[in-house]
Amino acid sequence: MPVLTYVEAIRQGIWEEMERDPSVFVIGEDVAEYGGAFKVTDGMLERFGRDRVIDTPISESAIVGAATGAALMGMRPVVEMQFMDFIACGFDQIVNMAAKIHYRWGAKVPMVIRGPSGAGVHGGPYHSQSNEMWFVHTPGLKVVIPSTAYDAKGLIKASIRDENPVIFYEHKFLYRRIKDEVPDEDYLVPLGRAAVRREGADIAVITYGAMVWTALEAAAELEKEGVSLEVVDLRSLLPYDEAAVLASVRKCGKVILLHEDTRTGGMAGELAALIGERAFDDLDGPIIRVTAPDTPVPFAPPLEEYFLPNAQKLMAAARKLAAY
């Protein structure tokens, strides 16, 4: 199997869906001649033409509104946000239009809104946010965050084929750092299904996105100290795989909830509530959160490093919990 970077896997997934289904098209800022801010759509204009690779004005509200209308008319738009921070400018069209249409009258709205998110590349507070919880709280949407190249391709293809809106987060730190064997043949990774990235016995670490790699780094180090971490990659946050979360917690008896997003109102709080309601008697220690603090993402590299969860912070929490 060929080895692809995370960003190339996404590009191939979209490309293959455009080849397979003429109703799929790409729309967004600089997606045509420039090939996308991070080159996800590179080469698509030459292959598919201007009717299917559409540059737009800098107006996220207009882009999402146009895509929603196209989806209602039987097309399958793939919307690129140059940075997922800018999705706020299209917020009303997403949460009050696209997300509610199927509920209101049963129409299908097959569209994907995708783009780079996350910190670690010194982008500052307007280019580094993890704002996935805005949409996890919105019924009618699906929210997907892959951590591997294999999953990135399989999940983008599954998202494009889904019949209702999917918000697809791509962590920019992973774009060209993560490589994986990716099959040439067509495959899908189902939405709403978690993956156990590392089997463990002592502490379940539930996470997603770039923090999966942080968890695996910490697990490898803690193994030398006799502490066994199980790493669960959610892959989808809405819907998320409740059964996988509960199975891992019940197996290990202790749990750390890890994410790059800020703490208050983050996914960790939702997971903690689920575990408290459904697996309280299986716990042998307190539920621990390792997250970013409640501040904007700093620009200065030392401050950004302090802001972000990392393997050392996770290891310190795991040592404390293991000794509980």
Instruction: Give me the DSSP letters along 30-76.
Output: T-SSS--TTSTTTTHHHHH-TTTEEE--S-HHHHHHHHHHHHHTT-E
Round the CA-based radius of gyration of the chain to a whole number and report it.
20
| Whole-angstrom distance, CA of residue 216 vs CA of residue 109 | 37
Contact 262, 291 (CB under 8 A): yes
3-class secondary-structure state, position 252: helix
CA dihedral 53, 54, 59, 63 (to 10 degrees): -70
Question: What tokens appear for 74 in the block?
Answer: 């039987």
Question: What tokens appear for 318 in the block?
Answer: 């795991």
| Whole-angstrom distance, CA of residue 189 vs CA of residue 3 | 18
CA dihedral 249, 250, 252, 255 (to 10 degrees): 30
| Whole-angstrom distance, CA of residue 77 vs CA of residue 146 | 20
Contact 165, 171 (CB under 8 A): no
Helix, strand, coil percentages, rounded to 5, for the chain: 40, 20, 40
Report cis status (omega within 30 of 0) of the bond before 239.
Answer: yes
CA dihedral 119, 223, 316, 207 (to 10 degrees): 40
**Residue 102: active-site member:** no
> Given 102, 127, 137, 259, which residue is catalytic?
127
Kindly list the distances between the CA atom of residue 11 and the CA atoms of 8, 43, 166, in Å, as whole numbers in the listed order.
Answer: 5, 10, 17
- Give backbone dihedrals phi and psi of 40, rounded to 5 degrees, phi first: -70, -35
Catalytic residues: 127
